[in-house]
Amino acid sequence: MADLHKLTIAELSEKLAVGECTSVEIVNDVLAAIDATDGKVGAYLTIDRSSALEQARAADAARAAGKKNPMLGIPVAIKDLLNVKGQSCTCASKILEGYVAPYDATVIAKLRAAGAVLLGRVNMDEFAMGSSTENSALGQTRNPWNLGHVPGGSSGGSAASVASDEAIASLGSDTGGSIRQPAAFCGCVGVKPTYGRVSRYGLTAFASSLDQIGPITKTVKDSAILLEAICGHDKLDSSSIEMDVPAFGKNLTGETSLVGMKLGLPKEYFVEGMDPEVEKAVRDAVAHCKSLGAEIVEVSLPNSKYAIAVYYIIATAEASANLARFDGIRYGLRVDGKDPIELYGKTRAAGFGSEVKRRIILGTYVLSSGYYDAYYLKAQKVRTLIRDDFTAAFKQCDAILAPVTPTAAYKLGEKTDDPLKMYLDDILTTPVNLAGNCALSLPCGFSSGGLPIGLQIIGDAFAEETILKVGHAYEQTTEWHTRKPEIS
Amino acid sequence: MPEANPGMHVSDIAHLARIDLTSEETALFQSQLDQILHYVEQLNELDVGGVEPTAHAIPVYNVLRKDEIGQSLDRDAVIANAPAATGGQIRVPKIIDQ
């Protein structure tokens, strides 16, 4: 094979444009890579080979007929919570067994219009609840850099598929870090767009005020291209913003200077318990940005330390309402009962995994009569304080640099018995979802154990161009993103 | 916020959430959720008097659209997803006893 699966969207798009390869060849190479390595990595839940090849042939025909788009003919792996008409959409849960999506999510419709190839569905934590993909009811995904370690989550299948060259790019979703953290753990690039930038129509909702769909890719440029393809106002999502979509991809031109850019370093984000290797890699990345001309200023985000407490009240509250729809009536699993109440209780007992049950119960409690003010309303008020911190910080700087996670990827099974311990790892990513702004994760080093370390670049609301520019400059002048795992 | 979560009884809340738990699950979740609720009590340190709550992060309110007839989902495809259906309708257990 021609190793086309190892290339980026930008590289393949150029090759396709000049006729050096076809989409069918790319898809064949990617399918061969899946055959060779997915038995070890376990990124995919389903692959529809004949449909992928059919889409590739259609893309090649469209190109021959004059169609041009940077996503035309590029195979993309889809996180299993996005509805693709005619495909399963299980959210890695037993409760959605047998469900066939009767419609396309808006991001899927946009990818189809761009001519991308929908390659298959990748694993995740059940209903996106988790940070290691170990909460999937359907299979185990492993970190391509070390198969004994987690890929991160909840978009673990997305990141693992891209890192192992089993996909050119992937769509994930980020409610509290579910794009950025697995991207960091697997050495990929991931973007959590500003809330409202990307339509959530057809995304199975976890926490509606926090969820955003975004790209996981091999480079910053690729994230820009894929992000551009999925952004834009959608009348089917009333929280999507009416705003022009910048030419994210085209605007990245290889510029490596950061002169005139002010980058903030939040003193509170080098938290207790952080692995010294992670701290060093991130501080080195900060120094590198300074050497590219950026001015580094200290900023303060004092209320971010409350983000986990706020997040696990707000996210579970919203989840308890959103997941009420999985009741065994209209689709998915049904366990019969003598009346509907018994049916609901039995169906949800059999269909949901432990973490989902735990979060629904917590969310139901914090919304329950007598406790709403003490928990949910209070959390919403502290959310305002967290947001105000970012607003103040962005008066002093153009973007914020921080770690993505306190440690590199940990071992499979290491944290599954202690939910709170697993939650605390989200301390550096959840504040961004609560504030609603955007952030990018990209590789900035490796641990002594050979596992990737991520740098987080946080932007103000709708400042995706700024964080992409900083990430692109960093990436152009470092080599971390060029390394590939040896999967064994 | 209540000090030691006196109101948090997993079995009662699970019933409200319509999830039948085993006794093992009930005991495990009770201890895990007590721990999590204890953790979130740190929010009591903050004085949030006069702070407006944030329900969502973007300034969009009351989005209205024209009431126009559009394309609906294909009925057969929707009904095909139902665990039990008959005559183009979803079947459920009897709700009202006569």
User: Between B1, B36, B58, which is nearest A196 by CB?
Assistant: B58
State whether residue A391 sits within 8 Å of chain B by CB. Answer: no
User: Which chain B residue is nearest to residue A346, measuring alpha carbons?
Assistant: B20
Mean pLDDT of A459-464: 98
User: Between B2, B14, B20, which is nearest A374 by CB?
Assistant: B2
Q: Please indicate whether residue A154 is annotated as part of the active site.
A: yes
The string of pLDDT tens digits covering residues A371-404 is 999 999 999 999 999 999 999 999 999 999 999 9
CATH class entry, domain A4-261 = alpha beta
Q: Determine, yes or no, domain membership for B22.
A: yes
Using pLDDT thresholds of 50, 70 and 90, give the confidence band for residue B60: confident
What residues in A contact B33, CB-CB < 8 Å? 358, 361-362, 365
State whether residue B79 sits within 8 Å of chain A by CB. Answer: no
Using pLDDT thresholds of 50, 70 and 90, give the confidence band for residue B98: low
State whether residue A243 sits within 8 Å of chain B by CB. Answer: no
Instruction: Tell me which residue range forms the domain holding B21.
Output: 10-45
The string of pLDDT tens digits covering residues A268-312 is 998 788 999 999 999 999 999 999 999 999 999 999 999 999 999
Tokens representing residue B25 in the block: 């699950």
End-to-end CA distance of chain A: 20
Q: Determine, yes or no, domain membership for B23.
A: yes
State whether residue A383 sits within 8 Å of chain B by CB. Answer: yes
State whether residue B93 sits within 8 Å of chain A by CB. Answer: yes
The C-alpha of A337 sits at a distance from chain B's nearest C-alpha, in angstroms, of 7
Q: What percent of chain A has pLDDT over 70?
A: 100
Q: Determine, yes or no, domain membership for B18.
A: yes
Edge-to-edge strand list for the sheet holding A399-403: A44-47, A117-122, A75-79, A169-174, A212-217, A189-192, A438-446, A452-459, A399-403, A262-266, A295-299
Mean pLDDT of A32-56: 97
Burial (0-12, 13-18, 19+ Cβ within 10 Å), B63: exposed
Query: Phi and psi for A119 in degrees, rounded to 5?
Result: -85, -40
Instruction: Report whether pLDDT(B42) > 50.
Output: yes
Q: How far apart are CA A208 and CA A195, in angstroms?
A: 10
Give the position of tokens 């005559």: B87
Using pLDDT thresholds of 50, 70 and 90, give the confidence band for residue A417: confident
Peptide bond before A154: cis, by omega within 30 degrees of 0?
Answer: yes
Interface touch B43/A378, C-beta < 8 Å = yes
Query: Phi and psi for A428 in degrees, rounded to 5?
Result: -95, -5
Instruction: Report whether pLDDT(A465) > 90.
Output: yes
Interface touch A377/B53, C-beta < 8 Å = yes
DSSP string, A319-356: HHHHGGG-SSSSSS-----SSHHHHHHHHHHHHS-HHH
Task: Give me the pLDDT at residue A403, please.
Answer: 97
In total, how many domains does chain B have?
Answer: 1
Q: How far apart are CA B98 and CA B87, in angstroms?
A: 24
State whether residue A313 sits within 8 Å of chain B by CB. Answer: yes
The string of pLDDT tens digits covering residues A171-216 is 999 999 999 999 999 999 999 999 999 999 999 999 999 999 999 9
Q: Identify the CATH number of the domain in which residue B27 sits.
A: 1.10.20
Which DSSP letter does residue A100 get?
A: B
The string of pLDDT tens digits covering residues A308-356 is 999 999 999 999 999 999 999 999 999 999 999 999 999 999 999 999 9
Q: Determine, yes or no, domain membership for B33.
A: yes
Lowest mean pLDDT among A159-173, A234-248, B3-17: B3-17
Break chain A into its structural domains and give their ranges. Answer: 4-261
Output the CA–CA distances (angstroms, integers) from residue B50 to A76, A381, A385, B46, B53, in the order listed: 47, 9, 11, 12, 9
Q: Determine, yes or no, domain membership for B76.
A: no
Interface touch A380/B39, C-beta < 8 Å = no
Q: Under a CB-based contact definition with an 8 Å cutoff, are residues A45 and A32 in contact?
A: no
The C-alpha of B25 sits at a distance from chain A's nearest C-alpha, in angstroms, of 8
User: Between B21, B60, B65, which is nearest A349 by CB?
Assistant: B21
User: Which chain A residue is nearest to residue B78, measuring alpha carbons?
Assistant: A102
Tokens representing residue B60 in the block: 């969009």
What residues in B contact A379, CB-CB < 8 Å? 40, 43
Please list the alpha-helical segments (H only) found in A127-192. Answer: 156-163, 180-186
Task: Give me the pLDDT at residue B5, please.
Answer: 53
The dihedral through the CA atoms of A89, A92, A93, A98 has a sign that is positive
Task: Give me the pLDDT at residue B1, please.
Answer: 45
State whether residue B78 sits within 8 Å of chain A by CB. Answer: yes
| Residues 6 or more apart whose Cβ sits within 8 Å of residue B70 | none
Lowest mean pLDDT among A43-52, A278-287, A416-425, A439-448: A416-425
Q: How far apart are CA A454 and CA A276, in angstroms?
A: 13
Q: Determine, yes or no, domain membership for B20.
A: yes
Q: Determine, yes or no, domain membership for B32.
A: yes
- pLDDT, chain B, mean: 89
Interface touch A384/B7, C-beta < 8 Å = no
Complex ipTM: 0.93
Q: Which of A13, A23, A131, A154 is catalytic?
A: A154
Using pLDDT thresholds of 50, 70 and 90, give the confidence band for residue B6: low
User: Which chain A residue is nearest to residue B64, measuring alpha carbons?
Assistant: A238
Task: Give me the pLDDT at residue B2, please.
Answer: 45
Interface touch B83/A334, C-beta < 8 Å = yes
Q: Please indicate whether residue A178 is annotated as part of the active site.
A: yes
Using pLDDT thresholds of 50, 70 and 90, give the confidence band for residue B4: very low
Residue A215: what residue type? Answer: P
Q: Determine, yes or no, domain membership for B28.
A: yes
Residue A423 or A455, more confident: A455
